[in-house]
Structure 1
Amino acid sequence: MGGEDLPAASGAFILSGQAIAERLRIERENRGWSLSDLAERSGVSKAMISKIERCEASPTATVLGRLSGAFGLPLSVLLALAERADDRLSRMSDQPVWTDPETGYTRRAVSVPNGGLLELIEVTLPAGVRIPYPASAFAFQRQQIWLLSGQLDFSEGETLHHLAPGDCLELGPPSACVFFNPGAEPSRYLVALTRR
Structure 2
Amino acid sequence: MIDPVSLGRHLHELRAARGLALSALAGQAGVSVSMLSAIERGEKTPTVVVLSRIADGLGLSLSRLLADLEPGRVIVRRAAEQDHIAEPGGWHRTVLTPVVPGVNFEWIRTTLPPGCDAGAFPAYAPGSHEFVAVESGELCLGVGEEEYVLAAGDSAYFPADAKHSYANRGETPCVYHVAALIMRPRENRMTPPRPA
TM range (shorter): 0.5 to 0.7
Opposite residue 119 of structure 2, the aligned amino acid is P
State the shift of 1:133 in Å.
2.7
Overall identity of the aligned pairs, in %: 23
Bigger radius of gyration: 1
User: C-alpha separation between the residues in 1 aligned to 2:111 and 2:105?
Assistant: 20
SS of residue matched to 2:66:
helix
Which string of whole-angstrom CA distances, capped at 9 and with x for unpartnered residues, describes residues 65-90 of structure 1?
Answer: xxx7352x697x5357x454545222
2:133 is matched with 146
Question: One-letter code of the match for 2:99?
Answer: P
User: How many Å apart are 1:195 and its aligned residue?
Assistant: 3.5
Q: State the SS of the aligned residue for 2:89.
A: coil
Residue 109 of structure 2: aligned partner:
122
Equivalence for 2:161: 174
Aligned-pair Cα RMSD in Å = 2.9
Q: Distance in 2 between matches of 1:137 and 1:173?
A: 6
Structure 1 residue 135 and structure 2 residue 125: aligned? no
User: Deviation of residue 141 (structure 1)?
Assistant: 2.1
- Asked whether the equivalents of residues 152 and 182 of structure 1 are also in contact (C-alpha less than 8 Å), the reply is yes
The answer to whether the aligner puts 1:104 opposite 2:90 as a matched pair is yes
* TM-score normalised by length of structure 2: 0.55
Separation in 2, partners of 1:138, 1:105 = 26
Could you say what secondary structure the match of 2:94 adopts? strand
Question: 1:126–1:140: structure 2 CA closer, same or farther, 3 Å change rule?
Answer: farther
Tell me if structure 2 keeps the 8 A contact 1:120–1:190.
Answer: yes
For residue 69 of structure 1, the aligned residue among 59, 62, 70 is 59
Secondary structure of 1:111's partner?
A: coil
Counterpart contact for 1:87–1:114, Cα < 8 Å: no
- Kept in 2, the 8 Å contact 1:149–1:189? The answer is yes
CA contact (8 A) 2:123 2:164 kept: no
Contact 1:87 1:112 in 2 (8 A): no
- Given the alignment, which residue of 144, 148, 160 partners 2:147? 160
Q: TM-score, normalised by structure 1?
A: 0.55
Query: What letter is aligned with 1:103?
Result: G
Unaligned runs of 5+ in 2: 7-57, 184-196
Match of 1:78? Answer: 66
- Flag the structure with higher helix content: 1
What is the rounded CA distance, in whole Å, between the counterparts of 2:78 and 2:70 in structure 1? 18
Residue 180 of structure 2 corresponds to 193
* Structure 1 residues 42-61: aligned runs within 5 Å: none
Structure 1: distance between partners of 2:92 and 2:110:
6
Q: Distance in 1 between the 2:78 and 2:160 partners?
A: 33
Give, as a single letter, the amino acid of the residue that structure 2 aligns with 1:69. Answer: G
Aligned-partner Cα distance in 2 for 1:140–1:152: 24
